[in-house]
Amino acid sequence: MEPSSNMEPIRAVLFDMDGTMFDTEKLWGAVTRALAASYALTWDERVRTQMMGKKDSEALAVFKEYFKCTATVDELVARRRELILTDLSMVAVNPGLYELLDVLEEKGIRKAVATSSFRQLTDALLSQFQLTERFDAIVTGDDVTKSKPDPEIFLEAARRVSIEPSACLVLEDAQNGVEAAANAGMRVFALPHDDSAHHDFSRATRVLGSLLEVPALL
């Protein structure tokens, strides 16, 4: 879908974090496989599509149901959070992030993080890459009650930066996130990677190859 020339100018950009700002998919994959192994479950990669983009309580409810795991969702959440915070060294910043933030600041466009990840991980990664102070708002899965594709997290981020949804652009790597942004009445650029290339991005405004392409489209 091409953006219409009479659309309201973009006044805020809302960033998904995992897979969009940072290359964390290898980390999440390794940790979730380790979680399965700790319960003697045989990993099945197909479950990851269902889990991607959801806050961890809902993602791990999917995990529990898929594998018929006897552990409680709360136990699974606590264990996976413990595992992922152990070592964040394999996380990298995706190409174009710093350059895009520079452009948004030059243009006076507000910026928010809207991630399904939990607060402790979000804060750790933003701090690790000296990004905390570059955002006007940070909304995590701990701050909302519903997961993507529900639009709650994006609507909350728009509220915190005081910008109408119709003037927001969302950057997302996963189908659930693209649908959440569309459900919020926002424009959304999809940024597929190896783990989400097979997702359905038909509701995206555009599908891009990387963050490096975004500045020219603002």
Query: Is the distance from CB of 147 to CB of 176 less than 8 angstroms?
Result: yes
Q: Widest CA span of the chain, in angstroms?
A: 55
Q: Per-residue b/e over 84-110, b at no fewer than 16 CB within 10 Å?
A: beeeeeebeebebbeebbeebeeeebb
The Cα–Cα gap between 21 and 42 comes to 30
φ, ψ dihedrals at 172, nearest 5°: -140, 150
Query: Is the distance from CB of 149 to CB of 172 less than 8 angstroms?
Result: no
Active site residue ranges? 16, 18
